[in-house]
Structure 1
Amino acid sequence: MESKRQQKFAGVIQKDLAEIFQREGMSFLPNTLVTITKVRVTPDLAIARIFLSFFNNQNTSLALNTVKAHANEIRYKLGSRIKNQVRIVPQLEFFVDDTNEYVERMDKIFDKISKEPRQPDTEE
């Protein structure tokens, strides 16, 4: 369970990182829309785990590796934005948020199940 402080800090990071990716993300991920779906912060506020979703991109692992390669640059830009609000700028860890893929996969399974003929209930 996250504290209010962690949730507030995660919200600030999510908002500022979204602006960074929107304005400057095209330089290292051209033609890709990056969405920050979730940010989780450790209790000491030293590490932020950022979950990303990539649209208009076929290879999410390559996109994630590209973002990880630019993590120091992204952290620097984040630090220049939030320097007056925090004591330390957290280390950034990036992950792919595959919730949409999971939902699509589950929908396909449920569609397949609903198209199968129902077996009559046998009561004994």
Structure 2
Amino acid sequence: MDTTRQLKINRMLQKELSEILLAEARATGHGTLLTVTNVRITPDLSIARVYLSIFPSNQSEAILEQVKGKTKSIRFQLGARIRHQLRVIPELAFYLDDSLDYIENIDNLLHKE
């Protein structure tokens, strides 16, 4: 069960990381939609698990690897933004959130005739 502090930090990190990744996406111009769907921080505030939804999903693995390759620069930018709220900037671990693909698959199965 997440504490109130963890929930507040999760929301703050989600907002800031969304803005950082939006700027990165504009700079690269891949034409993909990248959404930070969820952030879960550990109780000791040292690791943040960031879940990304990527559209179109056929490029999701490649885009996720590019984001993972830029983890250090993303963490640096995050630190510049939240340095007054957190003493230690958490390590970032990026994961693919495939819940939308799962929902679409279930919907297709239910409407198949």
What's the TM-score, normalizing by structure 2? 0.92
How far apart are 1:23 and its partner, in Å?
Answer: 2.0
Residue of structure 1 in register with 2:32 after alignment: 32
Once residues 100 and 48 of structure 1 are traced to their aligned partners in structure 2, the CA distance between those partners, rounded to angstroms, is 22
Are 1:49 and 1:94, in contact at CA under 8 Å, matched by a contact in 2?
yes
Residue of structure 1 in register with 2:107 after alignment: 107
Gapped runs of 5+ residues in structure 2?
A: none
1:87 aligns with 2:87: yes
Structure 1 stretches of at least 4 aligned residues deviating more than 4 Å after TM superposition: none
- State the secondary structure of the residue aligned to 2:109: helix
Relative to structure 1, is the Cα distance of residues 89 and 36 closer, same or farther in structure 2, using a 3 angstrom cutoff? Answer: same
Q: What is the root-mean-square deviation in Å for CA atoms of aligned residues?
A: 1.4
Note the alpha carbon deviations across 1:62-104, whole angstroms, 9 max, x for none: 1100000000000000000000000100000000110110001
Instruction: State the structure with more CA Rg.
Output: 1
Q: What is the identity, as a one-letter code, of the residue corresponding to 1:67?
A: V
Note the alpha carbon deviations across 1:18-41, whole angstroms, 9 max, x for none: 111112333346222210000000
How far apart are 1:53 and its partner, in Å?
Answer: 0.8
Aligned residues: 113
How far apart are 1:111 and its partner, in Å?
Answer: 1.7
What's the TM-score, normalizing by structure 1? 0.85
Question: Percent of aligned pairs with the same residue?
Answer: 41
